[in-house]
Amino acid sequence: MSPRPAFVLVLIFTAAAIAVAGRPDPNLKPHIDSLSAFEYPTRMNAARMLRRTAAAEAVPALVEAVRSHSDQFVRYRALVVLTSFNDPATGDLMRSLMADRNDRVREVAYRWFERHPDAGLALPLLAALETEQAEFVRPALVRAVAALPRDEVVHRTLVAEVGRGFDFFRSAVIEVLGQRRAVYALDAIAGVAASEGPLQDDAVLALGRIGGRRALKTLMSVKSSPGVAAALEAAECLLGDACTSHITSLTNIGRNPGRPEAVRAAVTALAAVAEVHEEARAALVELADGASERLQHEVALALSAVALRQPAEAVEWLSQAADQERNRWIGLLREGFQSLEEDFAEEQFFAAVRAAYWKAAEGSATRTVAATLLDRLDF
């Protein structure tokens, strides 16, 4: 381990204490105010300093900022940073923010409840679906609803959402139902998959994720076209059909610079497969090697999205990878994290990496990988 990651970790893990009630530390105010600084290094360093502050001091200061800071972006960023402390009172705070006037704050609250489902919030969340129209907030709300414990009213509502509203919103519904393997929504998604249109590839991928004979039967009836070919390859792979050949086919499509839309679709399809297949992850990394700047960026975004959805698994993958592949992975993650507007997911990634560090044995590959990620990804 290099000296710099070691130094970083000494600072990071001083924040491991459980939060206790206390008064906000006035010395933290400059860091909190800097969370909205125009310059990225200033914002990044402010968040770093707050993460490295003992929870007993940081949590009260962050909560106060969320509740009363005059800068709305500071409120949002303070809430994001607060989530990495795992303070037991965070859930109560999130409940109080579900109707907040700040769109970004509402988004964080809904994303929190996706990760911490609360059956008691079913009615308020379903009611919010009737009014929430902010384009980046509604998908987070849908994901929070989909995470609720089994409930027939929730299921019927989500099935209805497959065919309701703008395509952007419907796409988010179809994606989360696929990721949740929502068999109850299979017929609704199959109807979208059977019709050519902008959501057909989303529906095909969702069927591949849900799996089963009914999904396979539907996919066999879908007519392949340039707009859905890559998604079909990925879905068939996810269903266990000759995965290696499908990954090879998608990789070859990705190497064809003359068809940018097909390349983008192939990278998206490979990313869906990469959530469960090491071979697809390796294919994405290889696809970026020597690629154009545009393709490398597409791959970086795709790999970063996979890592953010599965942070603990990503640490494990990297721990098992050869040094050269691991370095390429981390370089792509750094590029992707800097471009994705996924502050909440990145904060949860940080928390997962920190947890993996402490769980791993001293001197192990996992601990080294965790230290490197925290340093290279500006946490």
Q: Could you write out the three-class secondary structure of the chain? A: CCHHHHHHHHHHHHHHCCCCCCCCCHHHHHHHHHHHCCCHHHHHHHHHHHHCCCHHHHHHHHHHHHHHCCCHHHHHHHHHHHHHHCCCCHHHHHHHCCCCCCHHHHHHHHHHHHHCCCHHHHHHHHHHHCCCCCCCCHHHHHHHHHCCCCCHHHHHHHHHHCCCCCHHHHHHHHHHHHHCCCHHHHHHHHHHHCCCCCCHHHHHHHHHHHCCHHHHHHHHHCCCCCCCHHHHHHHHHHCCCCHHHHHHHHHHHHCCCCCHHHHHHHHHHHHHHHCCCHHHHHHHHHHHCCCCHHHHHHHHHHHHHHHHHCHHHHHHHHHHCCHHHHHHHHHHHHHHHHHCCCHHHHHHHHHHHHHHHHHCCCCCHHHHHHHHHHHHCCC
The pLDDT score that the predictor gives to residue 24 is 63
- Two tokens, residue 305: 């999205």
Burial class (CB in 10 A: 0-12, 13-18, 19+), 70: exposed
The pLDDT score that the predictor gives to residue 11 is 34
| Domain residue ranges of the chain, discontinuous segments joined by + | 242-379
Distance from the first to the final alpha carbon of the chain: 17
- Two tokens, residue 309: 């959805």
CB 6 within 8 A of CB 368: no
pTM score, whole prediction: 0.88
The pLDDT score that the predictor gives to residue 306 is 95
What CA–CA distance (Å, rounded) separates 249 from 262? 12
Alpha carbon of residue 205 to chain centroid:
17
> Please, what is the angle between helix 167-179 and helix 186-193, to 10°?
130
The share of the chain scoring above pLDDT 70, in percent, equals 93
The pLDDT score that the predictor gives to residue 242 is 83
Residue 160: pLDDT over 50: yes
pLDDT classification of 70: cutoffs 50, 70, 90? very high
CB 335 within 8 A of CB 345: no
The share of the chain scoring above pLDDT 90, in percent, equals 80
The pLDDT score that the predictor gives to residue 59 is 96
Cα–Cα nearest to 44, from 16, 8, 18, 3? 8
pLDDT classification of 40: cutoffs 50, 70, 90? confident
pLDDT tens digits along 179-230: 999 999 999 999 999 999 999 999 999 999 999 999 999 999 998 888 899 9
Mean per-residue pLDDT of the chain: 90
